[in-house]
Amino acid sequence: EPEVTQTPSHQVTQMGQEVILRCVPISNHLYFYWYRQILGQKVEFLVSFYNNEISEKSEIFDDQFSVERPDGSNFTLKIRSTKLEDSAMYFCASSEGIGEYFLGQPQHFGDGTRLSIL
């Protein structure tokens, strides 16, 4: 069964450094998402992405964050000047759609990247 893959599984970074989290969505999916889950807290929406642009972003997704689809398969989340509070599990998700018509298909999640900021 097709799945969303994320790399790396665990990233340890010094505070202030930049990190790039990578995701390969399911191949025929058109809608992409990032979520994060701080230890012991709820899964929180960060950003949705469609047609090479951001569709919606949460209050968490400030200028420190950016997303990109650099080629036909990868979807990346960049976090600049990381802070201790950025430590969390980051999940990528994708869902189907046909062109501009969002079919309301379920979002499928990757295994996540555990980001630890020291």
Partner 1 sequence: EDKVVQSPLSLVVHEGDTVTLNCSYEVTNFRSLLWYKQEKKAPTFLFMLTSSGIEKKSGRLSSILDKKELFSILNITATQTGDSAVYLCAVEEKDSSNTGKLIFGQGTTLQVKP
Contact status: 107 vs partner 1 (CB under 8 A)? yes
DSSP state of 106: P
Contact status: 34 vs partner 1 (CB under 8 A)? no
Q: Are strands 10-13 and 113-117 parallel, antiparallel or unpaired?
A: parallel
Among 86, 90, 112, 117, binds partner 1 (CB under 8 A): 112
Name the one range near partner 1 by CB under 8 A: 14-22, 30-38, 63-71, 76-84: 30-38
Among 28, 55, 81, 116, binds partner 1 (CB under 8 A): 55
Residue 67 to residue 49: CA distance in whole angstroms = 8
Nearest CA among 31, 36, 42, 39 for reference residue 21: 36
Among 44, 60, 64, 69, binds partner 1 (CB under 8 A): 44
Quick check: 65 and 76 in contact, CB under 8 A?
no
Nearest CA among 46, 30, 9 for reference residue 94: 30
Which residues of the shown chain bind partner 1 in the complex (CB under 8 A)? 3-4, 31, 33, 35, 41-45, 48, 50, 55-56, 58, 91, 93, 95, 100, 102, 104-112
